[in-house]
Structure 1
């Protein structure tokens, strides 16, 4: 923090001085003519007075009056005797009377040169550095400068200290997460907040906690799902080691083939789900489609894989942008899920609601209890009773559907169907008209 303090302090002081220097430079350029004119007018009045004194009282009285006037104004008046200055073009061209307001010597402060019409002398006026007013002004200037440095350092130090405390709290939360406490959160009260950093940190921590918990659940579920077919394979292999007839041998071999097929399907679904869950998922290949026509063209293929009747209800044309491959995968999973639990028929329909195209899949099965409608989208989750493991599948179908719909910035709702079973609605945003 000390390094940050000195870096900010030096940078701030440099920036402020650069600003002051620029303002002073611009102000001098803009206001110099006005200031010079004011000085010349004031001094011009004095010159007229001095010349009148010379006429009335002589040169000694005039010079004495000039000295008193300069002293009153905390200035020094003297005659220019430097040959080099007297031979300069500015002095030689100085009229009688005339005023020249500029320093001709780089080592001097600002000097005012003037000439009277009563003699050939050139006089100069400079600030009297020994005067009390200039000493006070210098002291005030030094005090102001010192106070400025001190107050700036104090204000910056307090700000750095408060920022350091806020960042330390964030650091402690980060260390707790690194140590495995994924419930750690950064404080979000005003005195502990660092802009939007605390909120962003907590969102990240929440996401990490959810991912870790999800991966733990997924690991446990995968281990549980793999145990059953592996156990069956081991049992059938042990039975094959004993002498059995051909019919039993073939039955066990077929069973092993089915178990291997189940394992292969499970691995394929796991890979699909992992790809969908990954941040960003697949790269969407979005194209504009009229949804009714697109489903009509694929109705026969979808129905071919169903054991129950699949009815398609079309509506007025609905144009949306979506990834054809992924939406077909989601629709296939929904229909396959409905086919497992339907009694006789499945209905697929399309409609529009509040800026969304709605794809609805309904069945006449036993439905999904309201308490389980969110849980069924979790990996390897199944509903008890009618929707059991014997129905087939691995509990990943609806999880994959949810990920696909989320990639399309849509959402899913489950409700009770008028057919008696489950009604799953997929909401996809309508394609906005091009300007």
Structure 2
């Protein structure tokens, strides 16, 4: 799956802070180990005085280092990828060549580290049922896995500063303005964009909380009332969605779910979360979800056999379509949104549960039909957007891109601070004689 982390995004800065924490912590762990090793080894032969105690202390060092790396682990490949992309845009010099060598070392260390992790899962699956955590049959192969991983973790401790150095050089170069591609309509071909467009306002303006387990490989955001949850998988299986929004059963409203593939533009996903978090009560009457599509010129799709389906809608250019799924009883079981070109794999898909409130579905379809140009980095625009859409390039400063997320957070925070209008008072009851 292609990596979608944007340099300078909120996620990027979060991952950099997590890496900085690891670098500080790993230095402390290594200093404590060096101190122990010097006191418990022969100064000339470097042989430990007590092999067993020394080995146990070494296992503790390995486990502590891996635990410190926990938050970095799931995004290490993204940090390396961004540094590689930044280096490719920097002028060649002795300094950048040295950084490039360090980043290559980190690239290899990360691949080896992921391989060690996968090997451990294979070993663990082959262990007998009696081998549980705390038993020698479990702890001994685990310690061997930690020992193998420690070398690659140490490579991150040695070369990790290069990630910050490359980012600083890239930021300095971008201060004068960096070219950004403006994806003209259709926006649904613009590519994924920065996940912070969705996640940052949910956290900062809508009060959603994140999961507290540093070893959870997914980003999990939960609404204040605990009814809604957004999951973002960092590296899903190609057949699995990256974004999953679930809402629990509440009152008369059944539980529902919407999923989005990795290349879904974040602006389309944000239209759903913005509607879900709106302070105004949802409309009492059902909303026609297809209304925004019809207004934008969408029509019943024409299949390749020349037939038309009354249960869906197709974009004017035929590159996006919405199919309505019905069950045997004729009840709507949901919708499938797909952007694709004939005879080519789909660019992205979204699945909308049939129990999703109609105004939420309508917001999704409205964003799908929106013709507002979307700003993307030139290297992040899918090729089909260039060949089948219309794009233009202009200079956009790094600050203006960063401020766009900030301004969006401020606007939603202000929206949420305004109390919805109170319902009209009930008429006073009259006394009857």
Q: Specify if TM > 0.5.
A: no
Higher relative contact order (Cα pairs below 8 Å, separated by 6+ residues): 2
Mark the structure with the bigger radius of gyration.
1
Normalised to the residue count of structure 1, the TM-score between the two structures is: 0.20
TM-score by length of structure 2 reads: 0.20
User: Which has a greater percent of helix?
Assistant: 1
